[in-house]
């Protein structure tokens, strides 16, 4: 069943909210200072900012891998904290397990046998175009293919929220463009919300409908941009005048954020 069409930006029900979140590490390193961010259902949010501005920290807080020093993260009834998928910068696959077994992992940890979820695994492998490689081991795959497995694993349980921390940073540009397109298709197919960390202005404009620009030392939100070009976005969006204008705007916002820190 295809997901219901998305309401326009600003009319989407909020599924989670970071409220004045601070995170201070030992030695008084302030990674995040008063970050407030509401996440709407179906948003594709990019966190864009220079190195060290706390993007990963924000993601880890949302994933529940650590607790805010002050402030809080509110979850709504529509979204529980347990219902999410994650993709890290490295593919983070279990080298001793096949592609299919790696994708099965989230189900397996819930105690579901492979037989009972085989259809779901097959379906998502088809979605990332790796159904022929289900029995391969990670070392036999290229970097881009490994990343696809990682994405398949994050999506297989059809979570409402997917967190991605610079998932394509280590890939070449051609592979990255291809995966960008595929990611948008997959997001539309399962109808989830995505929070996507990136260094790349171009990537953030192509993918997201909300760009949250962050500044460093201390890490905070410095600006938010919306990209209201309609989905589905295809390769021709990359060459459109609108895309170029959005990229310039995002780039300017990023520079402002970096001057703020300097």
Partner 1 sequence: MSLTNAEHGPAGASAPVDLEESRRHRRQSVEKIARWTLPAFVLLAMLFLWDRIVVWNEIPHYILPSPGNVWESLTTDWPILFDAALLTGRVTLMALALAVIGGAGLAILFNQSRMIEMSFYPYAVILQVTPVVSIAPLIFIYVSSKTVGMLLCAWIVAFFPVLSSTTLGLNSVDHNLRDLFRIYGASRWQRLWMLQLPSALPYFLGGLKIAGGLSLIGAVVAELVAGTGGVGAGLAFRIQEAGYRLNIARMFAALGLVAMMGVMIFAALSLFSHFMLRKWHESALKRET
Ligand X SMILES: Nc1ncnc2c1ncn2[C@@H]1O[C@H](COP(=O)(O)OP(=O)(O)OP(=O)(O)O)[C@@H](O)[C@H]1O
Q: Is 25 in the site for ligand X (CB under 6 A)?
A: yes
Report whether 83 contacts 20 (CB < 8 A): no
Q: Computed from CA positions of residues 193, 242, 228, 251, in that sequence, does the dihedral angle turn out positive or negative?
A: positive
Binding test (CB under 6 A) with ligand X, winner from 33, 46, 56, 102: 56
Residues 170-229 that bind partner 1 (CB under 8 A): none
Strand 220-226 with 210-215, pairing? antiparallel
Q: Is 138 in the site for partner 1 (CB under 8 A)?
A: yes
Q: What six digits make up the tokens of 162?
A: 């997917």
Q: Which does 96 bind (CB under 5 to 8 A by kind): partner 1, ligand X, Mg ion, none?
A: partner 1
Which of 227, 185, 170 is closest to 202 using CA atoms?
A: 227
Q: What six digits make up the tokens of 3?
A: 């997901």
Q: What six digits make up the tokens of 126?
A: 């088809």
Q: Which does 137 bind (CB under 5 to 8 A by kind): partner 1, Mg ion, ligand X, none?
A: partner 1
Q: Which does 231 bind (CB under 5 to 8 A by kind): ligand X, partner 1, Mg ion, none?
A: none
Report whether 152 contacts 130 (CB < 8 A): yes
Residues 8-67 that bind partner 1 (CB under 8 A): 60, 63-65
Q: Which does 4 bind (CB under 5 to 8 A by kind): Mg ion, ligand X, partner 1, none?
A: none
Query: Cα–Cα distance between 97 and 86 in angstroms, integer?
Result: 19
Q: Is 84 in the site for partner 1 (CB under 8 A)?
A: yes
Q: Is 65 in the site for ligand X (CB under 6 A)?
A: no
Binding test (CB under 6 A) with ligand X, winner from 55, 134, 210, 220: 55
Q: Assign 138 to helix, strand or coil.
A: helix
Q: Which residue, 90 or 182, has its beta carbon nearer to partner 1?
A: 90
Q: Is 118 in the site for partner 1 (CB under 8 A)?
A: no
Binding test (CB under 8 A) with partner 1, winner from 10, 95, 230, 241: 95
Q: Is 31 in the site for ligand X (CB under 6 A)?
A: yes
Query: Cα–Cα distance between 37 and 197 in angstroms, integer?
Result: 14
| 36-51 residues labelled b (16+ CB within 10 A) or e (exposed) | ebebbbbbbbbbbbbe
Give the nearest distance from C-beta 70 to partner 1 in angstroms.
Answer: 23
- Angle (nearest 5°) at CA 46 between 54 and 42: 125
Q: Is 57 in the site for ligand X (CB under 6 A)?
A: yes
E strand or H helix that includes residue 206: helix 201-207
Task: Give the residue carrying structure tokens 């993007």.
Answer: 55
Neighbouring residues of 187: CB distance < 8 A, sequence distance ≥ 6:
44, 162, 194
Of the listed pieces 80-88, 177-185, 210-218, 235-243, which binds partner 1 according to CB under 8 A? 80-88
Which positions lie near partner 1, rule CB under 8 A? 60, 63-65, 82, 84, 86, 88, 90, 92, 94-97, 105-106, 108-110, 137-139
Which positions lie near ligand X, rule CB under 6 A? 25, 29, 31, 49, 51-57, 219
Which positions lie near Mg ion, rule CB under 5 A? 56
């Amino acid at each position: 069943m295809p997901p219901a069409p998305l309401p326009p930006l600003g009319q989407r029900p909020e599924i989670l909210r970071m409220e004045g979140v601070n995170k201070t590490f030992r030695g008084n390193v302030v990674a995040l200072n008063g970050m407030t961010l509401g996440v709407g259902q179906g948003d594709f949010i990019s966190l864009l900012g220079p190195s060290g501005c706390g993007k990963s920290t924000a993601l880890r807080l949302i994933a529940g891998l650590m607790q805010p020093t002050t402030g809080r993260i509110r979850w709504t009834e529509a979204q529980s904290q347990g219902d999410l998928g994650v993709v890290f910068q490295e593919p983070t696959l279990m080298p001793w397990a096949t592609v299919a077994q790696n994708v099965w992992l989230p189900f397996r940890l819930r105690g579901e046998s492979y037989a009972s979820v085989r259809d779901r695994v097959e379906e998502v492998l088809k979605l990332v175009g790796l159904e022929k490689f289900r029995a391969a081991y990670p070392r036999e795959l290229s970097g881009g293919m490994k990343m696809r497995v990682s994405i398949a694993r994050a999506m297989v349980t059809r979570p409402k929220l997917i967190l991605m921390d610079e998932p394509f940073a280590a890939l070449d540009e051609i592979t990255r463009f291809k995966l960008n397109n595929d990611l948008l298709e997959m997001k539309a197919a399962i109808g989830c919300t995505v929070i996507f960390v990136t260094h790349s202005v171009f990537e953030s404009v192509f993918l997201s409908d909300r760009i949250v620009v962050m500044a460093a030392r201390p890490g905070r939100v410095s600006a938010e941009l919306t990209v209201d070009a309609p989905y589905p976005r295809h390769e021709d969006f990359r060459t459109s005048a609108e895309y170029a204008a959005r990229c310039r705007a995002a780039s300017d916002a990023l520079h402002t954020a970096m001057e703020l820190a300097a």
